[in-house]
Structure 1
Amino acid sequence: MTLQPIPPARYEEGRLLALAGFADRFGMSDLSGLPLLWQRFAPQIGQVPGQHGRDSYGVCYNPDQQGGFDYLAGVEVSTAGPLPEGFSTLTLAPQHYAVFEHRGSLQGLKATFDGIFLWLAQSGEQQAYAALFERYPAAFDPADPEAVMEIWVPLQRK
């Protein structure tokens, strides 16, 4: 299989985004805990105090030089009210993004990310030191071969 760059679907100016959900630390060498984090969080969707909308977000932030990063599986919240025990919050500042679409089940997500980072290396764009996130529409089904979700890659402004 030859890796192909994936051009962005569009560019967006992101807005302030307040999120609440479950978070944990991962390393690129072992991402097996990500599905488990989502399995723990999924029953909370629609029940989070102050939840705004039905989309969910997977956010990669606080990367280190060894390939480690924090990941939050969460939803947007409009209020900073009390949250149940075990919840984490994260606020994303407005940022310039390249937005990519992933089509199909999550089994192919790694190939999409590989194509995005190949595009980034060839595009002349520079990734900003800011959170990268996945946006899952309310009706997203991770097993659906026709499912569509978005990956928002922060870019440095030129």
Structure 2
Amino acid sequence: MAQEKFAVDIVALPEVVAVGLKIDTHFAQAAQGCPALWQAFMPRMHEVSGKAPEEVHGESYGISTDMQEHGAFTYWAALPGDPNNLPAGMQAVRLPKGVYARCRVDSLAKIGEIYTFLYQGWDAARAGYAVNYAAPCFERYDEAYITDGSFALYVPVNKQ
């Protein structure tokens, strides 16, 4: 039996409502478009959190929705927020309650590699799951990202 390239665990998560900015992009442009979106969002994070700009840190999300077979998708840079109190130009996105395959990543430089692994290289069936391609996947950035650059990637799965 082949050993997995990255450690994957299965977790159940509650629904999260996040507020932020989004772009429509393509896998071929994601390496430029997604970081540019974060650069636009970071100075405005305090508008979502209600905290002073220097106090905004902790949980944030890079969310991929509406993924198409030809590589197009919508990417969000977002924080947990109130969908009834949207800052100008921002929208709400829901991460559904459900079961996710989680993989901790030690560096943002590995983000493409880990997405490829979870969607194409990880043997979900061996773990008793199937990847749910219709639901959003997301990166979760927390305090560890600030201290050591690590974050977690979550891919929705269904029990087989």
For the aligned pair, the TM-score class normalised by the smaller chain equals 0.7 to 0.9
After superposition, the Cα gap between the structure-2 partners of 1:155 and 1:29, relative to the gap in structure 1 and judged at 3 Å, is same
1:84, CA displacement in angstroms?
1.9
Question: Cα deviations across residues 99-135 of structure 1 (Å, max 9, x unaligned)?
Answer: 100002x222212222323014674631112110000
What are the within-5 Å matches in structure 2 for residues 52-91 of structure 1? Answer: 54-77=58-81, 79-91=82-94
Q: One-letter code of the match for 2:117?
A: G
Contact 1:18–1:92, Cα closer than 8 Å, also in 2 = yes
The answer to whether residue 32 in structure 2 is matched with residue 28 in structure 1 is no
Question: Cα deviations across residues 27-82 of structure 1 (Å, max 9, x unaligned)?
Answer: 1121111110000111222331568x8310000011122110111100011x3333
After superposition, the Cα gap between the structure-2 partners of 1:139 and 1:86, relative to the gap in structure 1 and judged at 3 Å, is farther
Scaled by the length of structure 2, what TM-score is found? 0.81
* CA distance, structure 2, for counterparts of residue 108 and residue 49 of structure 1: 28
| 2:41 corresponding residue in structure 1 | 41
| 1:14 corresponding residue in structure 2 | 13
Choose the corresponding residue for 1:157, options 153, 156, 159.
Answer: 159
Structure 2: any 5+ residue segments left out of the alignment?
52-56
After superposition, the Cα gap between the structure-2 partners of 1:113 and 1:49, relative to the gap in structure 1 and judged at 3 Å, is closer
Contact 2:58–2:141, Cα closer than 8 Å, also in 1 = no
Contact 1:23–1:73, Cα closer than 8 Å, also in 2 = yes
Structure 1: any 5+ residue segments left out of the alignment?
none
Q: One-letter code of the match for 1:17?
A: V
Percentage identity across paired residues of the two chains: 24
Scaled by the length of structure 1, what TM-score is found? 0.82
Q: One-letter code of the match for 1:108?
A: K
After superposition, the Cα gap between the structure-2 partners of 1:139 and 1:46, relative to the gap in structure 1 and judged at 3 Å, is farther
Contact 1:7–1:100, Cα closer than 8 Å, also in 2 = yes
| 2:103 corresponding residue in structure 1 | 100
Over the aligned positions, Cα root-mean-square deviation in angstroms equals: 2.4
Q: One-letter code of the match for 1:86?
A: G
